[in-house]
A and B are shown apart, each in its own frame.
Chain A
Amino acid sequence: MRTRPRLFVSYASEMSLLPTWTQKIAALVFLGVLVAIPFGIIPGLGFLADNDWLKILSRVAIYAIGALGLHILSGLAGQVSLGHAFFVGIGAYTAAVLGGEVGKGVWGLGLPIWVWLPAAGIVAAVIGALIAPTAVRVRGIYLAIVTLGLVFIGEWIFRSVAFITGGSQAGRKLPRFEFRIWKEEMPLVDFTTDGTWFGVEMTSEAKTYLLMLAFIIVAVIIAKNIQRTRVGRAFMAIRDRDIAAEVMGVAEARNKLVAFALSSAFAGVTGALLGAFIGRLVPETFSLLMSIQFVAILLIGGLGTVTGTLLGSAFVIILPRLVQDFTGLLASTVETGTGFFASVAGIFVSTGIDDPGIISTLPGTSPGLNVAQFNVLLYGLLLIGFLIFEPLGLYGIWIRIRNYWKSWPFTY
């Protein structure tokens, strides 16, 4: 009811994604802001229209799709998985074979995006469903080990099948973001070159960003809808207590299989998009580190919520950039400045072979960690920190802020 937000006269209204007008308008405004970003017309967010930042935001969207997949498997169905990178790889190489060009010793069919993108999801889902029966037999830490094995086996397979992946270190080229009806010469819509859309000058980064934005919106709607249907409720029942769920009539094995398949489908799509976005991939990309990144997204963002997953993706993907900028800032302070700040900064930054410090600005020559290594360290620290102090992640912080105002003027 419009004037009585807690009065639900049907299940549909209780489950609706945006129950109140305030929420509908807020969602619309937020969407408007996201669309307007590449045009640099939002005051205060103008810097995001920069091509570097647009690339980062596109990457956030791509990772978020994969993270939504893991959210379904781990957040909803409660199945820990360290094997997410494997399915991302499956998707990437499916897209490569179907959509990529024939190259030096690699296969490629050169099919259009509407074939290779869904296929990446479907193939990953099928493989996920094939693996699921094994994974369904174990739970908790054992499942983590099984899926861990999957990553290593996967990496080995990817290196071995050079006719698909291009082999270790070399890698292969992947399809591009172009839309063709079939294999015609000129693509109908090309996202990889600068050009004019509806009279507005757009860089290829801006175009790609808008395309990724469209994909993530679709992915969020799908994930949200899975969560509020029978399947989603079955997942949550299994997460909360698998035996109790089975007693209530939730088919455990079948639902876990569905969770694996759905999660893998999201991962597959992410792989295909990531491949096309980067352009060239080596098999080592799909390593344990990538799996950990997805787990980090979920835990930092907030396990079991779509919003948390999005927050986590943004945080984890933007963090390296922030660390880099910050290191740069520190380094320049050390080099140019004197006084208190420079000496404090000097503790953190290592500028040469003789200068001890945590982060090195000249990789390979100074004793500190390079920025990438420091990022890994930071993920680890953040994971531990969030698990101990804020188990519900960034979303948990938001929840607490929201509840503070929602319970006004009381506390409970």
Chain B
Amino acid sequence: MTTTLERVDQPDLSGAYRTVSLMVRERFHSTPDAVAMRDKDLGIWQERTWSDLWEEIVVTAHGLLALGMQRGDVVSIHSEDRPEWVIVDLAAVAIRAMSTGLYPTNPMAEVQYLVNDSGAKIHLAEDQEQVDKVVEAGPDAFPNVKTIIYLEPRGLRSYDDDRLMFWDDFQDLGRAHRNEHPGTVAATMAEAQPDDIVTLVYTSGTTGPPKGAMLSNENATFAIETIILAENRTADGRMPGPHDMVLTYLPLGHIAERIMSTWTMCSSGAVLNFAESIETVQVNLQEIQPTLFFAVPRIWEKIHATILIKLNDATFMKRLVNGIGYKLAAYIGRSRIKNGGNYTIGARLAYWLGNPLMFRALKERVGLRRCRWAGTSAAPIAPEVIEFFMGFGVPMVELYGMTENAAVATLNFHGSNKVGTVGEPYPGIGLRLDEETGEIQTKHDGNFLGYWNKPEATAETFTDDGWLMTGDVGVWVDGTHLKIIDRIKHIIITSGGKNISPSEIENSLKTSPFIKEAMVIGDGRKFLTALIAIEYDVVGNWALSKRIPYTTYRDLSEKPEVIELVQGIVDETNEKFARVEQIKKFRMIPKELDHEDGELTATQKIKRKTMEDMFSDLITEMYRP
């Protein structure tokens, strides 16, 4: 086995363009026996070394070639996070093809749109559920797809579709191809160009159908050098490296997770650990105790709520101690925020007191004890949540970026962290605010090549002088830090002519553990209203402790006691805002929001247009005089 491998990798690729795949190959040469990946299977974190990983990537690359993939072809990946996802992704880059990731929650119609729009020749489906989304529509629905590779054979043995191929057979195919054509992959890697597209990342599509953003080798390299290997990023100032642990659980198709897990692994050698599923993240966090941890606000809010509830549910003695610890943490959080994220002497003293008392144990229990960089992005977050985690000593920062600029825009650097802003622009990149609209625009090597097969849409995204229009409105804070107001399209202009950013109000509402989702309405209206969805299990527990009987989600959200509870939270929020920004009325959303029903995007963002149509009766009711 090794002899074949050495022969295949014989050519010296030091002159070739350094793609993410080449980075893995370099690790394979320098530290073949170091751990690259861990994946929990049958209760054990099974390890893959760099040599295991590279072997699999090469075999998979040969397999793709054997199936007729050529330069510039697309393979679509429809799976939860698992090693095969990353392997296929990197194998595609190695043969100068590209991957596009679908979200496991994508319903059938979206799968059809995404696969056909990308023109994928090979489709990787994780299991029977995902295979069905393709097979059931018949071969005519997917004219380009030649092969469907599946990873989990359970339930699929009786399928007789010619396009289906089991992963193990695919690997055998790859090995056979490698024996016949040794060195093909290495030769292709040697020809890699900076403008080869490595991946199509489909935008979430809160408005209109998703568009595939083309990211090139050069974009990837720029993102790696600017974000992952940024100076002053981590709390201890050390660069990410093989000593770091990353937990991956967000969809790998998303640009943020791609950078924070796959590309972090490739570029720094950090160990990539795959969570079993989104449900087990909290347990997996405890096990892995990642050193670099990225999460979307939704996850941070969830951890925040869990901690608050558990602290409250503790027994008498523990509650007493927790009360002291919580006060210390609140003090530390406040003073750090005033001091650019740094510890003051008082905060340092309070930390020394609180750490053995409860901070350390608390962080261990939630899995953030060894964290030296914790990031949040992809959606707005309430500053209170960051303050909370900072108080307990979690080095948490907010950063900003979007798919179209390879997520390169701003970061709160260690030592100059302004909570409430998304940080300072990375050194040397072009970032400006449009003088008229306040829109954030960027210009750097991370700017994408354009939308796949959509030249008009691409042209609309760039200004005449070549700057990327992000669609987000921002303002400068103290001249250095950027604060995001909202998406341009989301800004509410009331009939009184006042400009209001709904997400700020929504996030303030969402800091309460009882509220899962909130949507503020009021564009062209006299006053603001909101649709509010409760956090089912938290409110359910609350109802249980108050002895309020309920049957379903809808029943629970419409209980007078629950409405009273939410009213209290709304009143509290209103106190923080000016009169015109206060919510006058609200209604409870009678169902749990879901991607498959179309209220949420795959990344769990609300689709405002759909929501407005769907709950138009509730909205009209609120504005009825």
The residues of A with any CB-CB pair to B shorter than 8 Å are: 3-4, 6-11, 14, 407-412
**Which of A9, A407, A412 touches B45 (beta carbons < 8 Å)?**
A9
A28 to B570 CA separation, bound complex (whole angstroms): 59
Decide if B44 touches A410 in the complex (CB within 8 Å): no
Number of A-B contacts (CB under 8 A): 54
Residues 353-409 of B contacting A (Cβ, < 8 Å) = 358, 361-362, 365, 370
Q: How far is the CA of A387 from the CA of B315 in the complex (A)?
A: 25
Interface centre among A407, A410, A411 (most CB of B within 10 A): A410
Contact B358 A409 (CB under 8 A): yes
Nearest chain A CB to B391 CB, angstrom units? 14
A-B contact pairs, 27 of them (CB 8 A): A4-B288, A4-B289, A4-B370, A6-B287, A7-B288, A8-B43, A8-B44, A9-B44, A9-B47, A14-B44, A407-B365, A408-B318, A408-B358, A408-B361, A409-B311, A409-B318, A409-B321, A409-B358, A409-B361, A409-B362, A409-B365, A410-B310, A410-B313, A410-B362, A411-B314, A411-B315, A412-B310
Please give the distance in Å from B374's CB to the nearest CB on chain A.
17
* Distance to closest chain A CB from B50 (angstroms): 16
Q: Any chain A CB within 8 A of the CB of B212?
A: no
Contact with A along B492-510 (1 / 0, CB 8 A): 0000000000000000000
Across-interface contacts of A4 in B (CB, < 8 A):
287-289, 370
Tell me if B418 counts as interface (CB < 8 A to partner A). Answer: no
CA distance A9 to B287 in the complex (A): 11
Q: Which residues of chain B have C-beta atoms less than 8 A from A410's C-beta?
A: 310-311, 313-314, 318, 362, 365
Q: Which B residues are CB-close (under 8 A) to A409? A: 311, 314, 318, 321-322, 325, 358, 361-362, 365
CB-CB nearest in chain B for A7? B287
Task: Provide the bound-state CA to CA distance between A9 and B38, in Å.
Answer: 8
Q: State the CA gap A407–B315 with chains docked (Å).
A: 11
Contact check, B310 vs A411: say whether CB atoms are below 8 A apart: yes
Complex Cα spacing A385 to B313, Å: 30
Contact of B313 among A11, A14, A411 (CB under 8 A): A411
Chain B residue nearest to A6 (CB atoms) is B287
Residues of B within 8 A of A7 (CB): 45, 287-289
Max chain A Cβ within 10 angstroms of own Cβ: one of B45, B288, B358, B365: B45
Asked whether, in the complex, the Cβ of B44 is within 8 Å of the Cβ of A412, the reply is no
State how many residues of chain B have any CB contact under 8 Å with chain A.
24
In the complex, whether B582 has a CB less than 8 A from a CB of chain A is no
CA–CA, A10 to B321, complex, Å?
Answer: 37
Q: What residue in chain A is nearest B317 (Cβ atoms)?
A: A404
Residues of A within 8 A of B47 (CB): 9
A14 to B46 Cα, complex, angstroms: 12
**CB pair B44 A10 closer than 8 Å:** yes
Find chain B residues with CB under 8 A from A412 CB. Answer: 310, 313
State in angstroms the CA–CA spacing of A411 and B315 once bound together: 6
How distant is A131 from chain B, measured CB to nearest CB, in Å? Answer: 38
Residues of A within 8 Å of B325, CB to CB, are 409
B286 at the A/B interface (Cβ < 8 Å)? Answer: yes
Give the CA-CA distance A411 to B286 in the complex, in Å.
16
- Where the two chains meet, the residues of B that have a C-beta atom closer than 8 Å to any C-beta of A are 38, 43-47, 286-289, 310-311, 313-315, 318, 321-322, 325, 358, 361-362, 365, 370
The 7 closest A-B pairs by CB, nearest first: A409-B358, A410-B310, A6-B287, A411-B314, A408-B361, A9-B45, A7-B287
Residues of chain A within 8 A (CB-CB) of B45 are 7-9
Q: How far is the CA of A14 from the CA of B321 in the complex (A)?
A: 33
B289: chain A residues at CB < 8 Å are: 3-4, 7
The residue on A at minimum CB distance from B367 is A6
Given A409-B322, A410-B314, 16 additional A-B pairs, CB 8 A:
A4-B288, A4-B289, A4-B370, A6-B286, A6-B287, A8-B44, A9-B45, A10-B44, A409-B358, A409-B362, A409-B365, A410-B311, A411-B313, A411-B314, A411-B318, A412-B310
Q: Give complex CA distance A282, B370 in Å.
A: 64
In the bound complex, do residue A9 and residue B313 qualify as a contact, i.e. CB atoms below 8 Å apart? no
Give chain B nearest CB distance to A77 CB in angstroms: 24
Chain A residues, CB < 8 A from B310 = 410-412
Q: How far, in angstroms, from A3 to B365 measured CA to CA in the complex? A: 14
Q: Tell me, in angstroms, the Cα distance from A7 to B361 when the chains sit together.
A: 17
When chains A and B are docked, how far (Å) is the Cα of A407 from the Cα of B358? Answer: 11
A161–B116 Cα distance when bound, in Å, is 90
Q: Is the CB of B46 within 8 A of A9?
A: yes
Inter-chain CA distance A90–B286, complex, in Å, is 51
Quote the shortest CB–CB distance from A22 to chain B (angstroms). Answer: 14
What chain B residues lie within 8 Å of A6 (beta carbons)? 286-287
The residue in B44, B286, B370 that gathers the most chain A C-beta atoms within 10 A of its C-beta is B44
A8 contacts which chain B residues (CB < 8 A)? 43-45, 287
Distance between Cα atoms of A3 and B44 in the complex (Å): 17
Q: How far, in angstroms, from A10 to B370 measured CA to CA in the complex? A: 22
CB-CB under 8 A from B314, the residues of chain A are: 409-411
Contacting residues, chain B, for A411 (C-beta < 8 A): 310, 313-315, 318
- Closest Cβ of chain B: how far from A273's Cβ, in Å? 39
Residues of chain B contacted by A408 (CB below 8 angstroms): 318, 358, 361
Give chain A nearest CB distance to B357 CB in angstroms.
8
Interface core residue of A8, A409, A412 (most chain B CB under 10 Å): A409
Closest A-chain residue to B245, C-beta based?
A4
- The distance in angstroms between the C-alpha atoms of A11 and B43, with both chains bound, is 8
> How many angstroms from the CA of A407 to the CA of B365 in the assembled complex?
8
* Known A408-B358, A409-B314, A409-B318: A3·B287 in contact at CB below 8 Å: no
CA distance A340 to B321 in the complex (A): 42
Q: How close is A308's CB to chain B, nearest CB, in angstroms?
A: 25
CB distance from B325 to the nearest CB of A (A): 7
Q: How far is the CB of A211 from chain B (nearest CB, A)?
A: 40
Per the bound structure, the CA–CA distance linking A11 and B41 in Å amounts to 11
Q: For A9, what are the chain B residues with a Cβ–Cβ distance below 8 Å?
A: 38, 44-47
CA distance A407 to B289 in the complex (A): 17
Closest to B357 in A: A409
Nearest opposing residue in chain B for A409, CB measure: B358
Tell me the bound Cα distance from A411 to B321 in angstroms.
Answer: 13
Q: Give complex CA distance A4, B365 in Å.
A: 12
> In the bound complex, what is the Cα–Cα distance between A411 and B314 (angstroms)?
5
Bound Cα distance A228, B321 (Å): 38
Looking at A9, A14, A408, A412, which has the most chain B CB atoms within 10 Å of its CB? A408
Cα distance A412–B310 in the bound complex, in angstroms: 8
Complex CA distance for A7 and B288, rounded to whole angstroms: 6
A407 contacts across to B, CB distance below 8 A: 365
Nearest CB of chain A from residue B322's CB, rounded to whole Å: 5
- A127, chain B: closest CB distance, angstroms: 39
List A contacts of B38 (CB < 8 A): 9
CB-nearest residue of chain A to B359: A409
Minimum Cβ distance to chain B for residue A321 (Å): 36
A11: chain B residues within 8 A (beta carbon): 43-44
- Nearest A residue to B290 by beta-carbon distance? A4
Nearest Cβ on chain B to A14's Cβ, whole angstroms = 7
Q: How far is the CB of B97 from chain A (nearest CB, A)?
A: 33
Least CB distance, B394 to chain A, in whole angstroms: 15
Q: Which of A3, A14, A411 has the most CB of B within 10 A?
A: A411
In the docked arrangement, what's the CA distance between A6 and B283, Å?
Answer: 10
Tell me the complex Cα distance, A4–B285, Å: 11
- CB contacts (< 8 Å) of B43 on chain A: these are 8, 11, 14
Q: Smallest CB-CB separation from B286: which chain A residue?
A: A6
A404 to chain B, nearest CB (A): 8
Distance in Å from the Cβ of B247 to the closest Cβ of chain A?
11
Query: How far does the alpha carbon of A77 sit from the alpha carbon of B525 in the complex, in Å?
Result: 72
Q: How far is the CB of A4 from chain B (nearest CB, A)?
A: 5
Which chain A residue has the least Cβ–Cβ distance from B366? A410
Q: How far is the CB of A300 from chain B (nearest CB, A)?
A: 27
A10 and B41 CA atoms in complex are apart in Å by 11
Measured CA separation A11–B45 after assembly (Å): 9
Q: Distance in Å from the Cβ of B359 to the closest Cβ of chain A? A: 9
Set of chain A residues within 8 Å of B370, measured between Cβ atoms: 3-4
Instruction: List the B side residues contacting A10 at CB < 8 Å.
Output: 44
Complex CA distance for A10 and B47, rounded to whole angstroms: 9
Q: B46 contacts which chain A residues (CB < 8 A)? A: 9
